[in-house]
Structure 1
Amino acid sequence: MPKRSSILWAAAILTTVAPDIYFRVAPMWSGAEGGVFFSWVSWGRCTGYEVDSQLQSLLDPVWDFPLLWFGSAPLIALAWGGRLLSERTGRPRLGRILAHSAVTVMIVRHLPSPLLFMLDASADRRCMESWGPLEVTGWGITMDLYYLVPVALVLLAVRTPGPSRRGRLARTGTAVSLAIMIIIGAVADTAAGKVSDSQTLDCAGFGDGVASELDGREKGFLCGIRDGAFGEGVPQLADLPDRELLAYGRHLCELAVRNGGDINAPAVSKVIGEMNSLVGPLTRLCPKVAEVEQERERQRQAENDAFIAAAEKSCAAHPRHRPRIKPVRQVRATMWTEFWHINAWDEGSEGGEVGDMIADLVGSGPGALNIWAADEIGHACVTGEAYRRRPPVETRGWEQVVEVGYETAKGVMVIVDGEGGRLPNLAAGGPGSYRVRVHVRGRKTAQEHIDAPDGTVQLLIMVFPGAEKNPVIYRDYPPRRPRK
């Protein structure tokens, strides 16, 4: 065997075992231990990835054969030995067949993944995400290409001498193709960690975003995660690179679609966990989830409308109050509370301080009024009456009757509830001092029974001019204090 061929065979073996030697020696030099673990999710159906997965699953048992350990160094050594033996026995053709067989095995092992990866990358850049984190994929592709170097060395070692222009062109083309693949892998690896900010994504909608490689759904999803543009944002995911974040979103979308678009399905909710604010951004990325969530919201709205209608119907069924003197105006409304109270403020005094609640029913301060209306969150059937003079005191049929003072510099006392509902202005005499007399029935039932019927709590609020400052309790019972 020519010396040149022996050198090429030896170089092929050294090339295959070099990575294993390095990874065994390098930790001893650096003292580093342990490793880094990655997980990822796939996107859609990508032909290259699907074919590669099936191919690797089929051939994995073959790659565990000892001849293919250490980068297939034993296989190359066996082919080299067969080549030497075949030349000594005068059958060189058999040696070339053994060498070509070893090369074929290595090509089958290391060439499909780079080619299939390039197929996916050229078909749809998002398919690159299916292959996993590009930090890992890029390294794997690079190593596959590296192990084609001993293939070239073996082919050179068994090449029949003689000039061939066509052979040189073919080898040059192969080398250029491999270089291009390595460069593309390196560029993709560099872009893998990109984290687009809200300005780049144009989350504000001013049209000055520069992330042209992303479509509207992708931008909407990233904005919802990082900027809170469609909800609260998801701090747990906000720092992930675009690629990983979009891959995660597509995985959730695919999982949700398999479960009818329902994010509450056990398989989906298990993945989302405590990240409830992820739902809003996900509806921007996944049309099926958006469709299901819109239908769910429609059902919730319908149920809420039915609940409100039932409460209003119950309140309307109560007999109207028949005042003993004629008021300037009398209005009725179903009013909803947040944290027990309905309120009134003079213009410019919104959010002003209210004094102690008298009998836990009504409290007032300069331009401010609080009235208990329901046990925490609920509703009350409210009648408001405005007078120009003091009406007679009525206590019959009421559990509590309490009167307090109210000052308005602007002549405004509009009672509002927690949902934005309001009564007309009850300060009929304009700016000045007023008395507010509050009557309530049904309070005891509402506090003692969590499932009290609609319309249980009834309030009658009489407002009339009066300079008296001190509160007056006309009727009371030992009420249970509201929860705080």
Structure 2
Amino acid sequence: MPRRSRVHGASKVWAAATLTAVAPSLFFWVIRTLTGDDGSRSYLSMSSGPCLGWDIYDQVSPWVYPIKAFPLFSYDGAPLIVLGFAGWYLSVRRGRAGLGRIIGRCVAVVLLVLDLPLFLLPTLDAALGPACEAMWGPPELLSRQIGWGLYDCVPPILVLLAVRAPRRAFVRRGPVVRTAAAVLAVTAVVLIPAASASPGKVSTERELDCAGFGDGTVKGLSETDKRFLCAVRGYDRPYDSGVEGWDEVSDQDVVAQGHQLCALATRHGGDTGARAVQEAPQASLAGALADLCPAVAGARQAEEDRRQAESDAYVAKKERACAAHPRHRPKIEPVRQRRATLWTEFWTIDGWEEGYEGNPPELVKDLVGSGLGTLAIWAADEAGSACVTVESYTRRPPLEVRGWEEVVEVGYESPSGALELVDGDGTSVKGLTTRGPGSYRVRVHLRGRELVTQVIDAPDGAVELLVQVFPGKAKKPVVYK
């Protein structure tokens, strides 16, 4: 065949390789334009145990996909094919056909290295059995994966055909080439795997014994597996419907996916927030994984311990600041004097007697308010703590206004004689009323309000409260300062 005819024929094959590479992108672009559907779907893989194809894919995909995202490899490598054609054509025109063949083969090898795993690895797992086959999703997804993987190999094969050396006579291919061709042909036929097995059993709350009453009937699952299933199904959470998307997935598949996610999280120190865990197909199970995975449970316990230690240190710092304030020296001896660091998330600390909770009164001068069996005292600018001293008397104590920014006194009616102050953390100060049920007066002294409302980061122990409770029949509030 004349040299010009060979170049012309090879150029057509190069063009066919380019069009074959671009065709899928054009096809999906048309579909997306006409229907608004880009054809993307998400699936959850369902399997357990080691699967060679998936394990290799999990290792190579982190570097394959960034490479394929490079513009040269966009449109299934069409820009690289065009660049390779240019190099081949210039080499042939200058009489260096050997260099042109090297350029073309390099293009083909690069594309095959990037595309073959997406075809060979799911094919390998499909051959290993249904368990590994399920790693790649439903049968239709696996068929599509293998089919597109095989299709993506067509452009580099066409490139190899375009740059093959001319032969004058038929040459029988070697055994490696014949075997590879046979494998490709057989795989192309077996694109649709066998239908998946039945979905399996989805156990009920009682069968799993999530309540712990001993009426579980599920066999073949460990206690950790059962706890994990209870969490996934939402059986152990009264107001939770479980992990969305897994309610109809069989027990066996849920547990298998949990173990797989556990193995992935374990490789990242039990951190379910790791990127690899968050990007896993079964990442939605991470919230329930601590019931199944010791590494995750350990990591979460360590994080909880760390946060608790930080919280304890924060509280201890505030308490030390309160303890550093001089103790109040009353003018007359009280029956009781209590000091405490009290916390609030909603401006006030509350006082109540049993049966009268949940009915906060309005505050007088935004400091103290009272009602039947209930009391409220401003303590922080929305959230924070206050250094509180509570004194109980059998008679009215002398008035003290010096050194205090605000002093307000209100009447209080005690239905049971058991008033106590309770903060947002459950800390309580009891024994405020000294004469049982009856009428009392509550005098509240405050300093530090302006400091915490005007300074973003107020010093520890800035708010101080002195609360004096004593018998008295007057009902009207009095503002002393």
Q: TM-score by structure 1 length?
A: 0.61
| Closer/same/farther in 2, CA of residues 136 and 403 from structure 1, 3 Å limit | same
* One-letter amino acid of the counterpart of residue 427, structure 2: G
Which aligned pairs between 1:427-466 and structure 2 lie closer than 5 A?
427-466=433-472
Distance 1:202 1:134 in 2: 34
Pairwise CA distance, 1:254: 3.3
Pairwise CA distance, 1:356: 1.6
Candidates 370, 376, 383, aligned match of 2:376 = 370
Partner in structure 2 of residue 407 of structure 1: 413
Pairwise CA distance, 1:301: 1.1
Partner in structure 2 of residue 255 of structure 1: 264
| Closer/same/farther in 2, CA of residues 334 and 269 from structure 1, 3 Å limit | farther
1:117 aligns with 2:164: no
Pairwise CA distance, 1:135: 7.9
Partner in structure 2 of residue 41 of structure 1: 45
Distance 1:136 1:254 in 2: 24
**Other structure's SS at 1:299 match:** helix
Pairwise CA distance, 1:357: 1.1
Distance 2:278 2:269 in 1: 13
Distance 1:254 1:218 in 2: 15
Pairwise CA distance, 1:112: 7.8
| Closer/same/farther in 2, CA of residues 223 and 36 from structure 1, 3 Å limit | same
Partner in structure 1 of residue 184 of structure 2: none
More displaced 10-residue stretch of structure 1: 375-384 or 212-221 = 212-221
More displaced 10-residue stretch of structure 1: 339-348 or 131-140 = 131-140
| Closer/same/farther in 2, CA of residues 246 and 199 from structure 1, 3 Å limit | same
Q: 1:247-300: CA deviations, max 9, x gaps?
A: 55344323322322112334434669997xx65511112211111111111111
Candidates 303, 309, 312, aligned match of 2:310 = 303
* One-letter amino acid of the counterpart of residue 39, structure 1: Y
Q: Do the aligned partners of 1:133 and 1:244 also contact (CA within 8 Å) in 2?
A: no
Pairwise CA distance, 1:460: 0.5
Candidates 132, 135, 142, aligned match of 1:130 = 135
Pairwise CA distance, 1:218: 2.4
Q: Do the aligned partners of 1:52 and 1:112 also contact (CA within 8 Å) in 2?
A: no
Percent of residue pairs identical: 48
Candidates 350, 357, 361, aligned match of 1:355 = 361
* One-letter amino acid of the counterpart of residue 424, structure 1: K
**Other structure's SS at 2:214 match:** coil
| Closer/same/farther in 2, CA of residues 472 and 129 from structure 1, 3 Å limit | farther
Pairwise CA distance, 1:339: 1.2
| Closer/same/farther in 2, CA of residues 279 and 370 from structure 1, 3 Å limit | farther
| Closer/same/farther in 2, CA of residues 453 and 269 from structure 1, 3 Å limit | farther
Q: Do the aligned partners of 1:52 and 1:113 also contact (CA within 8 Å) in 2?
A: no
Which aligned pairs between 1:135-174 and structure 2 lie closer than 5 A?
none
Q: Do the aligned partners of 1:437 and 1:462 also contact (CA within 8 Å) in 2?
A: yes
Partner in structure 2 of residue 398 of structure 1: 404
Which aligned pairs between 1:56-205 and structure 2 lie closer than 5 A?
116-117=128-129, 129-130=134-135, 132-133=137-138, 189-192=197-200, 194-205=201-212
The runs of 5 or more residues in structure 2 that have no matched partner are 1-36, 62-119, 146-193
* One-letter amino acid of the counterpart of residue 393, structure 1: L
* One-letter amino acid of the counterpart of residue 475, structure 2: K
Partner in structure 2 of residue 337 of structure 1: 344
Pairwise CA distance, 1:425: 1.2
Q: 1:195-219: CA deviations, max 9, x gaps?
A: 3332222111122222223322222
**Other structure's SS at 2:370 match:** strand
| Closer/same/farther in 2, CA of residues 41 and 262 from structure 1, 3 Å limit | same
How many corresponding residue pairs? 337
The runs of 5 or more residues in structure 1 that have no matched partner are 1-32, 58-107, 121-126, 141-184, 476-484
Q: 1:189-239: CA deviations, max 9, x gaps?
A: 2234x4333222211112222222332222222211222526964453453
Partner in structure 1 of residue 249 of structure 2: 241
**Other structure's SS at 2:431 match:** coil
Q: Do the aligned partners of 1:335 and 1:421 also contact (CA within 8 Å) in 2?
A: yes
Partner in structure 2 of residue 69 of structure 1: none
| Closer/same/farther in 2, CA of residues 376 and 244 from structure 1, 3 Å limit | farther
Q: Do the aligned partners of 1:395 and 1:401 also contact (CA within 8 Å) in 2?
A: yes
Q: 1:295-353: CA deviations, max 9, x gaps?
A: 111111111111111111110000000111111010101111131221111222222x2
* One-letter amino acid of the counterpart of residue 310, structure 1: K
Distance 2:472 2:55 in 1: 87
Q: 1:4-34: CA deviations, max 9, x gaps?
A: xxxxxxxxxxxxxxxxxxxxxxxxxxxxx99
Partner in structure 1 of residue 432 of structure 2: 426
| Closer/same/farther in 2, CA of residues 135 and 227 from structure 1, 3 Å limit | farther
| Closer/same/farther in 2, CA of residues 346 and 112 from structure 1, 3 Å limit | closer
Partner in structure 2 of residue 178 of structure 1: none
* One-letter amino acid of the counterpart of residue 116, structure 1: L
| Closer/same/farther in 2, CA of residues 251 and 48 from structure 1, 3 Å limit | closer
Distance 2:48 2:243 in 1: 26
| Closer/same/farther in 2, CA of residues 39 and 312 from structure 1, 3 Å limit | same
**Other structure's SS at 2:227 match:** helix
| Closer/same/farther in 2, CA of residues 231 and 378 from structure 1, 3 Å limit | farther
**Other structure's SS at 1:190 match:** coil
* One-letter amino acid of the counterpart of residue 132, structure 1: G
Q: Do the aligned partners of 1:405 and 1:434 also contact (CA within 8 Å) in 2?
A: yes
**Other structure's SS at 2:468 match:** strand
Pairwise CA distance, 1:114: 6.8
Q: Do the aligned partners of 1:231 and 1:281 also contact (CA within 8 Å) in 2?
A: no
**Other structure's SS at 1:189 match:** coil
Distance 1:269 1:462 in 2: 56
Partner in structure 2 of residue 70 of structure 1: none
Partner in structure 1 of residue 290 of structure 2: 283
| Closer/same/farther in 2, CA of residues 113 and 368 from structure 1, 3 Å limit | closer
Q: 1:412-438: CA deviations, max 9, x gaps?
A: 111111111011211011110111111
Q: Do the aligned partners of 2:346 and 2:382 also contact (CA within 8 Å) in 1?
A: yes
Pairwise CA distance, 1:465: 0.4
Pairwise CA distance, 1:41: 3.4
**Other structure's SS at 1:297 match:** helix
